[in-house]
Structure 1
Amino acid sequence: MKVSKRFALAVVGLSAAGTLFGAGVATADPSAPPANAYERPLQGVGSDTTDLLMNGLAEAVVGDHDGNPATPDQKLIASWDAKSALGFKSRAVGCDYTGNPTPDSAYVVGTRPNGSGNGQKALRDAFTPATAVENCLDFSRSSSNPSAGNLGGVEVQAVQLATDSLGFAVNRATSIPRQLSRQNLYDIYHCTFGGFTGATPARKALIPQAGSGTRSSWLGMVGLTEADLAVTGALPCVSDQVDGSARGGGSPLQEHDLRFLKTNQIAPVSVAQWISQMGGSAPSDQRGPSMLGSIIQTNGIVAHPMELSASFGPAETITQGAASKLTRTVYNAVPTKRGDAAHTAVNNPLATLVFVDTDPGAANTSLICQRADVIKKFGFAPISTCGTGSIINPQ
């Protein structure tokens, strides 16, 4: 059967793609101005997938931060990287977070949180009375829908931001097929595909560190849960370690860091992150020897991940049932009720102005949603529902 192909930067278009690849803009932790990053009124942490995007938006979005029209507008958002050896300070008094340079999956109060889940836990602690970091944060980044299990008694709105595609990466010298169907991916991560079988498989199917939004999204896409991974001896081909060893070891794979991807390994990756690293929008290039694979759809079309369109890896039927599409919505979690006994409503008009579209029937009122140019530059697809979202963990 002849397989037809298509290749396009469908979301950003070719002219915008030139903006992406020629941008040369590397983003990291917030810096001056203002002189102190804690002077930015909206402080956030969390997802590794969206930290580059939110860092870019933090530099682009300015506004009235103090309600005084006589003072100059300033940058409103401080978005702190998921991973750094450096600590940071999110308020003028207290709120000193220590660094976290390794892909450590454990959440520790007062340590820079790495990943969507840990970012949600940090946001929980910032809105829960009597914690060491109470009132230290205003939002968290999340590459998957926030989980009530991370939020304690805090209610949040999961505010949609953009669309990302999740693809797979292999080493350029690999013998693993570079074009795979959804059925193939399912079989690989269930250890039934050639080379991934047996008690000591020759090939390894990698997943990122625990607490990662990408890990959560990818497991759902290949029909697995954390409970499946917790079964002793189950799925020996699936590893969350850089070297492909048993899950839960001391060398967890940081999401989107493919510098050490071996020829016998396959790993999920945010296509937006991969593009940002290729185009210079990331402070460092962690693609290493990796290349993006393509999806063979049931209609015979080969979908290339750099299409970054809603049609990439569409929902399809496989032997085991329905397979969800390979695109996902990314979010910012914005608290709406505190974790105190009364579940006091959070009143933060500035957070609403920046993140929330308060009039979806008209022009988008969210300041970050208005910056589709920045969203495209970091490899994400703008969406019409940006700024809207549902309540998570209602109180």
Structure 2
Amino acid sequence: MNVKSYAKVGAAVGAAVLGLGILTTPASADPSSLTDYRTLAAVGSDTTQYVMNGLANGGAVVDAGNNNVIASWNAVDGLGDPYKTKPTPASSTECQYNRADTNGSSNGLGRLAEDIANGGTTCIDIVRSSRGPKTSGTDLTYVPFARDAVTYATDLGSTVPTSLSKDQLRQIYTDCTYTDDTGTHTVAPLLPQAGSGTRQYWLDSIGVPTPGACVTQGIQEHDGTAITAANQLMPYSVAQWIAQGKGIAEVPNRRGESRLRSITGGAAGSENPTTGSGTALALNPNFVFSRDVYNVVQTSRLNSDATISKALSDICAAGTTIQNYGFGVISNCNDRTLTGGLNGNNS
């Protein structure tokens, strides 16, 4: 038996939140009760946990008997900790995890890699990932299902400019300063927890291999309440920020007083992370730091397990739900050509 028990944009963009409406969307938490295991278990990225929960619990992915197929377990804000993903004997710790061990793209991928290394025990069937593969190989297939973007956020009364360039952001996350026409200024950048796909995507996008020692690391991603000072900033998923302001059932509003900011220096139409305002506020698919988000599965099972294959197809048919959670729909949804290896997934 495979035993798993771990101890372990400018001011206008900011103002747009004020007119957001309320959506009546299916509840999007862990399966309730915690013994509602279902056929497929999904863990991983905080970025996509709510949209995947909405897809999993809202009737978008069902079997022939109209039963929900995916149990999508929260990276944070779960109903219990530890939790089990599959109905192994109650006395067994097989398929049991602490939230911290599956929180984030890399941590989820690491647990899936352990499944595969231990003979393919299917405690985890799908990993939510906001980043692509780190290593080459064909063990895993990264199936895109939606579009997201990442920008920096500050508080409403921040002393940090509402627009920064990529070069200024690189400087900030290297030595906690930026330079403009008036001189050099000191700021206090924040960075998500280890294992976060958004953390890795942000550092790659601004060209910082290793963040400076002055950077405060380890905050929970997409939690604007972590910004407690006027000179702080942090990377934030645009889709998450939009969804958190819509009043969707069981999507907690963690934005605090944070506002999304713009990134200058790109092509025309790429500086602002959102378009529209009020109830029409949406992700700008042309934003300079835009990315696909993925559901990752073991390649051999994708090719042999009809339930997994159908579930991924069903997700792509639920474009309205995907957009309700702040994400953009994509023409390459359900593409199955991007693969990666097992090594380097838990970093």
Q: TM-score, normalised by structure 2?
A: 0.79
Structure 1 SS opposite 2:243: helix
1:183 CA displacement: 2.9
CA spacing shift, 1:394–1:218, aligned 2, 3 Å: closer
CA spacing shift, 1:385–1:391, aligned 2, 3 Å: same
Summarize deviations over 1:260-298 as a string: whole Å, max 9, x none. Answer: 302121100001111111112253111112111122345
**How far apart in 2 are the matches of 1:64 and 1:238?**
44
- Could you tell me which residue of structure 2 aligns to residue 206 of structure 1? 190
How well do the aligned residues superpose, as a CA RMSD in angstroms? 3.1
- Could you tell me which residue of structure 2 aligns to residue 11 of structure 1? none
1:190 CA displacement: 3.0
Contact between 2:59 and 2:66, CA under 8 Å: does it hold in 1?
no
Q: Does residue 292 of structure 1 match 2:294? A: no
1:86 CA displacement: 2.4
Q: Does residue 387 of structure 1 match 2:300? A: no
**How far apart in 2 are the matches of 1:335 and 1:239?**
35
CA spacing shift, 1:210–1:391, aligned 2, 3 Å: same
- Could you tell me which residue of structure 2 aligns to residue 352 of structure 1? 309
Structure 2 SS opposite 1:22: coil
Tell me which amino acid in the other structure corresponds to 1:312: F
1:382 CA displacement: 0.4
Where structure 1 has 5 or more consecutive residues not aligned to the other structure, the ranges are 8-16, 108-112, 230-234, 241-251, 314-325, 339-344, 356-365
**How far apart in 2 are the matches of 1:80 and 1:286?**
19
1:328 CA displacement: 0.6
**How far apart in 1 are the matches of 2:268 and 2:314?**
41
Count of residues in correspondence between the two structures: 310
Structure 1 SS opposite 2:198: helix
1:167 CA displacement: 1.1
**How far apart in 1 are the matches of 2:160 and 2:11?**
20
Summarize deviations over 1:285-327 as a string: whole Å, max 9, x none. Answer: 11112111122345676833222222112xxxxxxxxxxxx00
Q: Does residue 118 of structure 1 match 2:146? A: no
Dislocated runs of 4+, deviation >4 Å: 4-7, 298-302
Higher relative contact order, structure no. (Cα contacts within 8 Å, ≥ 6 residues apart): 2
CA spacing shift, 1:265–1:336, aligned 2, 3 Å: same
Contact between 1:23 and 1:279, CA under 8 Å: does it hold in 2?
no
- Counterpart of 1:90 (choices 85, 107, 111) is 85
Point out the structure with max Rg over C-alpha.
Answer: 1
**How far apart in 1 are the matches of 2:259 and 2:151?**
10
Tell me which amino acid in the other structure corresponds to 1:118: N
Which structure has greater helix proportion? 2
Summarize deviations over 1:318-342 as a string: whole Å, max 9, x none. Answer: xxxxxxxx0011001011238xxxx
Tell me which amino acid in the other structure corresponds to 1:283: V
1:394 CA displacement: 8.6
Summarize deviations over 1:196-253 as a string: whole Å, max 9, x none. Answer: x99xx8421221111100001000111012xx34xxxxx244221xxxxxxxxxxx20
**Aligned counterparts, 1:123-162, within 5 A:** 123-129=112-118, 134-148=121-135, 155-162=139-146
CA spacing shift, 1:189–1:138, aligned 2, 3 Å: same
Tell me which amino acid in the other structure corresponds to 1:168: Y
Structure 2 SS opposite 1:161: strand
**How far apart in 2 are the matches of 1:301 and 1:6?**
15
Q: Does residue 224 of structure 1 match 2:220? A: no
**How far apart in 1 are the matches of 2:256 and 2:61?**
39
Tell me which amino acid in the other structure corresponds to 1:392: G
**How far apart in 2 are the matches of 1:278 and 1:264?**
23
**How far apart in 1 are the matches of 2:342 and 2:95?**
29
Tell me which amino acid in the other structure corresponds to 1:75: N
More deviation, 83-92/117-126 = 83-92
- Could you tell me which residue of structure 2 aligns to residue 310 of structure 1? 285
CA spacing shift, 1:183–1:44, aligned 2, 3 Å: same
**How far apart in 2 are the matches of 1:289 and 1:55?**
26
**How far apart in 1 are the matches of 2:233 and 2:112?**
33
Where structure 2 has 5 or more consecutive residues not aligned to the other structure, the ranges are 1-9, 14-18, 276-282
Contact between 2:178 and 2:186, CA under 8 Å: does it hold in 1?
no
**How far apart in 2 are the matches of 1:80 and 1:284?**
15
**How far apart in 2 are the matches of 1:179 and 1:79?**
36
- Could you tell me which residue of structure 2 aligns to residue 268 of structure 1? 235
**How far apart in 2 are the matches of 1:391 and 1:176?**
39
Summarize deviations over 1:334-372 as a string: whole Å, max 9, x none. Answer: 11238xxxxxx96211101111xxxxxxxxxx1000000
Tell me which amino acid in the other structure corresponds to 2:320: D
CA spacing shift, 1:147–1:37, aligned 2, 3 Å: farther
**How far apart in 2 are the matches of 1:63 and 1:276?**
21
1:89 CA displacement: 2.3
**Aligned counterparts, 1:71-110, within 5 A:** 72-83=65-76, 84=78, 85-94=80-89, 95-100=94-99, 104=100, 107=101
- Counterpart of 2:171 (choices 182, 187, 192) is 187
Tell me which amino acid in the other structure corresponds to 1:393: G
Give the share of equivalent positions with the same residue, in percent: 33
- Could you tell me which residue of structure 1 aligns to residue 6 of structure 2? none
- Could you tell me which residue of structure 2 aligns to residue 30 of structure 1? 31
**How far apart in 2 are the matches of 1:295 and 1:394?**
34
- Could you tell me which residue of structure 1 aligns to residue 224 of structure 2? 258
